[in-house]
């Protein structure tokens, strides 16, 4: 391919790899720093907003949001569930998570933990749902699509990883829903020291990171010798 097109393709992959790297490194770094004593280990990832590691958490989510808002993906004329619409939703969700802090509630309280009464906390919960839901759509719907060509062996291997990440996100969301909505205060109180919300959220963010790293051809064992046309950047006029 022409040199300028080759550079554009490499840049396109590098953006995907950057999002994947952030999704993998940052939750590990946050939890690792907590275990090392630099900050308390909170009950949820979002609660890092209220710790000395707030700047790292907020900066990470805003960075992901900006990447996602500027990500065009593949140009598609028809359809609502496109790379552009889903990445925009995910980007707005990521920024909402960062800028609208949640309100940490005692899991032993009899009041349902998702009954947030202040506006910022409600925006936070909505943003988290949009971000994680859009991420699952990427993994289960958009990334596995093969376009107009027969899937290559590498594409089939990558699709398996995408689907595994998508189901990990959905199962984690189901676990979060069960914790918040199905468990009573006594059950939540009994397991609060295990921090189930934190670990389920870590799984979702790690799955996000792995999927984007694979989509950016960041794991060579899953790549083909030739490029999948659907991984090419969208054409630009001029």
Between 216 and 8, the more confident residue is 216
Handedness of CA 143, 206, 68, 131 (dihedral sign): positive
Residue 187 is predicted with a pLDDT of: 84
What is the band of 201 on the pLDDT scale with cuts at 50, 70, 90? very high
Q: By the 8 A CB rule, do 8 and 49 touch?
A: no
Residue 106 is predicted with a pLDDT of: 64
pLDDT at residue 22 greater than cutoff 50? yes
Q: What is the largest CA-CA distance in the chain?
A: 64
What is the band of 112 on the pLDDT scale with cuts at 50, 70, 90? low
| Range with lowest mean pLDDT among 24-38, 135-149, 168-182 | 135-149
What is the band of 2 on the pLDDT scale with cuts at 50, 70, 90? very low
pLDDT at residue 6 greater than cutoff 50? no
Residue 76 is predicted with a pLDDT of: 61
**Cα gap 238→235, rounded to integer Å:** 9
Closest CA to 56 of 68, 67, 45, 66: 45
Counts for the chain of helices (H) and strands (E), in that order: 7, 0
pLDDT at residue 233 greater than cutoff 50? no
pLDDT at residue 4 greater than cutoff 50? no
The tokens of 197 are what?
């919300």
- Residues 6 or more apart whose CB falls under 8 angstroms from that of 30 comprise 45, 48, 53, 56, 57
- The percentage of the chain sitting over the pLDDT mark of 70, rounded to a whole number, equals 78
- What are the structural domain ranges in the chain? 3-231
Closest CA to 159 of 143, 148, 175, 147: 143
Residue with tokens 């969700």: 93
The tokens of 112 are what?
């349902």
Per DSSP, the residues of 114-156 read: T---SHHHHHHHHHHHHHHHHHHHIIIIITT--TTSPPPHHHH
Residue 151 is predicted with a pLDDT of: 73
What is the band of 169 on the pLDDT scale with cuts at 50, 70, 90? very high
What is the band of 89 on the pLDDT scale with cuts at 50, 70, 90? very high
Give the three-state DSSP class for 26. Answer: helix
**Cα gap 103→121, rounded to integer Å:** 6
């Amino acid at each position: 391919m022409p040199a300028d097109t080759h550079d554009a393709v490499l840049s396109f992959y590098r953006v995907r790899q950057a999002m994947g790297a952030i999704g993998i490194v940052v939750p590990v770094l946050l939890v690792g720093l907590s275990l090392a004593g630099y900050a308390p280990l909170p009950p949820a990832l979002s609660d890092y907003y209220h710790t000395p590691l707030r700047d790292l958490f907020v900066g990470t989510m805003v960075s992901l949001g900006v990447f996602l808002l500027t990500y065009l993906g593949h140009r598609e004329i028809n359809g609502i569930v496109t790379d552009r619409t889903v990445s925009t939703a995910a980007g707005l969700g990521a920024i909402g998570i960062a800028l609208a802090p949640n309100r940490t509630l005692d899991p032993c309280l009899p009041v349902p933990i998702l009954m947030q009464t202040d506006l910022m906390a409600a925006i936070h919960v909505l943003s988290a749902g949009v971000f994680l839901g859009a991420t699952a759509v990427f993994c289960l719907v958009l990334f596995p699509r093969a376009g107009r060509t027969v899937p290559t062996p590498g594409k089939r291997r990558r699709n398996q990883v995408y689907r595994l990440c998508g189901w990990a996100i959905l199962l984690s969301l189901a676990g979060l829903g069960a914790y918040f909505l199905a468990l009573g205060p006594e059950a939540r109180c009994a397991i609060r020291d295990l921090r189930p919300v934190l670990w389920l959220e870590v799984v979702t963010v790690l799955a996000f990171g792995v999927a984007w790293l694979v989509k950016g051809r960041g794991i060579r064992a899953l790549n083909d010798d030739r490029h999948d046309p659907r991984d090419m950047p969208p054409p630009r006029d001029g």
